[in-house]
Amino acid sequence: MAAAAAIPLLASPENVSASALLLRGRYDLRGALLSVSMGIRLVAILVGAHAGVTAALGALALGQVLATAIVGVAGTSALRRFPRGEQHALGTDRREIVSFVVQSSIATGVISLRSALTPVLLGLVAGTTQVGYYRVALAPQSGFQAASAPVRLVLLTEQTRDWEYGREQTVLRGLRSYTVAAAAVAAVAVPVFLLAMPWLVRVVFGSEYLPAVDAARIVLVAAAIQLVLGWSKSLPVTVGRPHLRILTHGVEALVLLPLVVVLGDHFGVTGAAVALLVSTLVFAATWTVVLLRLRTELRAAGRIAAPGAAGP
């Protein structure tokens, strides 16, 4: 645990450096360096795993030092390319900035707590074997998140810039385009992976994990919904309202955790997967309401065109 606790601290400078690359629009370089960083971590795990869990995490921490150094050099170079202007104190903006940081940290904490507590609660009511199956069943979710990550990074950077320049209509149009494209991808991918799931689990994880197939199929549907709502990760930052993440993910957690206990106790990993799907549907419904309210506020303020009117 001590070695694992060091990893997020060592990774923090890497994330800051990567942000400088994103602000300069160097998504290609960010992607290449992320691949290098992940490769270093993979090698560290392969080397350290032979000596046990502690050695694997220690090697991973050392690998993170190297990855942070590599990305840090590139990020520092990108940061120095920004034009230098006269420096000013934060002044009246300090309170708003501090509030933004605190709310963003709380939102991240809610998401992390939800992810950490789910397997713990499942283990308490159904046993560690079901937790192992649950980890395998989450593979579709991890895959969809990884596949959509580059697009979400572009959305965060480009849409935040558009919002700051007063192009709210462009931002909302981009959300609509992303949603339609993601739904089209999900409509093709979900049936294929539903049919191939037994084969994929057997090939990737082994036959002993076949009891996780039904749960993985349920998680796949939830992951497809999360893919369509991928913009929900960046939109609160774009519009400067990080409390929206606290609200939506808080509601999601309040539904997920009790259901994991109830359904996991009766149906094991399959019940936990159903709990994840139900909480995802509630999350989607909550975001639908939030987005409709946001549109109403923007129309009332004259910042976007009313339905049927010509937009900017």
Query: How many residues are listed for the chain in this entry?
Result: 312
Containing structural domain, residue 43: 1-79
Judge whether 169 and 311 are in contact, CB under 8 Å. Answer: yes
Percent of the chain as helix, strand, coil, to the nearest 5:
85, 0, 15
DSSP 3-state of 311: coil
Residue 86 lies inside a defined structural domain of this protein: no
DSSP state, residue 215:
H
The per-type count for the chain, helices as H runs and strands as E runs, is 11, 0
Look at residues 11, 46, 79 and tell me which one is the last residue of a structural domain: 79
Segment among 54-58, 81-85, 140-144, 255-259 with least mean pLDDT: 81-85
Identify the pLDDT of residue 312. Answer: 42
Segment 166-172 mean pLDDT = 91
Shared domain for 207 and 282, answered yes or no, is: yes
pLDDT band (50, 70, 90) for residue 311: very low
Identify the pLDDT of residue 308. Answer: 56
CA–CA separation, 79 and 71 (whole Å):
12
Shared domain for 67 and 134, answered yes or no, is: no
Look at residues 64, 79, 94 and tell me which one is the last residue of a structural domain: 79
Residue 96 lies inside a defined structural domain of this protein: no
Shared domain for 21 and 162, answered yes or no, is: no
Residue 85 lies inside a defined structural domain of this protein: no
Residue 312 lies inside a defined structural domain of this protein: no
Q: Give the residue from 306, 176, 172, 311 showing the smallest Cα distance to 239.
A: 172
DSSP 3-state of 30: helix
Shared domain for 282 and 170, answered yes or no, is: yes
Segment 9-38 mean pLDDT = 86
Shared domain for 123 and 243, answered yes or no, is: yes
Residue 88 lies inside a defined structural domain of this protein: no
Shared domain for 59 and 118, answered yes or no, is: no
Shared domain for 106 and 216, answered yes or no, is: yes
Shared domain for 75 and 156, answered yes or no, is: no
What separation in angstroms does the CA of 48 have from each of 1, 34, 35, 39, 305? 15, 21, 20, 14, 58
Shared domain for 67 and 178, answered yes or no, is: no
Residue 97 lies inside a defined structural domain of this protein: no
Instruction: Report the mean per-residue pLDDT for the chain.
Output: 90
Shared domain for 9 and 154, answered yes or no, is: no
Looking up tokens 């109403």, which residue turns up?
296
Burial of residue 192, with CB atoms counted within 10 A of its CB: 0-12 exposed, 13-18 middle, 19 or more buried: exposed
Structural domains counted in the chain: 2
Shared domain for 165 and 61, answered yes or no, is: no
Identify the pLDDT of residue 152. Answer: 83
